Amino acid sequence: MEFCDECGSMMKTEGDHWVCGSCGHEQGRDSEKEEEMVTTEGQEHSEVVDISGAEEKGLPRTTAHCPKCDNDRAYYYMQQIRAADESETRFFICTECEHKWREDDN
């Protein structure tokens, strides 16, 4: 990823140049430098969370309505699953049926 030297915006590749979508500034591409860049292409987004034994793991409990069994208590934990500048996602695990759901701040 390249950022524009003129305005600081993120640049896009167009052929053998980087082009700023905001101000139109162009600069040549450097293949050696680009090989060192980390991309998200081919990365799979998967999440494996073991919810068995939530009580033994010391997860805190709160009042939350389970959409599956209508229980009003759940364990919860917070996890960053989106960009770092966005809020964490709160996950709930029902204390009765172990149904898992999440709550995002919108």
pTM as predicted? 0.46
- Per domain, the residue ranges of the chain are 1-41, 44-106
- Tell me: is residue 34 an annotated ligand-binding position: no
The percent of residues above 90 in pLDDT, for the chain, comes to: 22
Q: Is the pLDDT of residue 106 over 60?
A: no
Domain spanning 44-106: which CATH class is it, in words?
A: mainly beta
Question: How many helices (DSSP H) and strands (DSSP E) are in the chain?
Answer: 1, 7
- Tell me: is residue 97 an annotated ligand-binding position: yes
Q: Where are the alpha helices (DSSP H) in the chain?
A: 31-35
Q: What is the mean pLDDT of the chain?
A: 79
Higher pLDDT, 74 or 4: 74
Cα-based torsion angle of the residue sequence 35, 41, 43, 46 in order, rounded to the nearest 10 degrees: 150
pLDDT at 86: 76
Spatial neighbors of 31 by CB under 8 A, at least 6 apart, are: none
- Tell me: is residue 66 an annotated ligand-binding position: yes
- Tell me: is residue 4 an annotated ligand-binding position: yes
Q: How far apart are alpha carbons 10 and 8 in whole angstroms?
A: 7
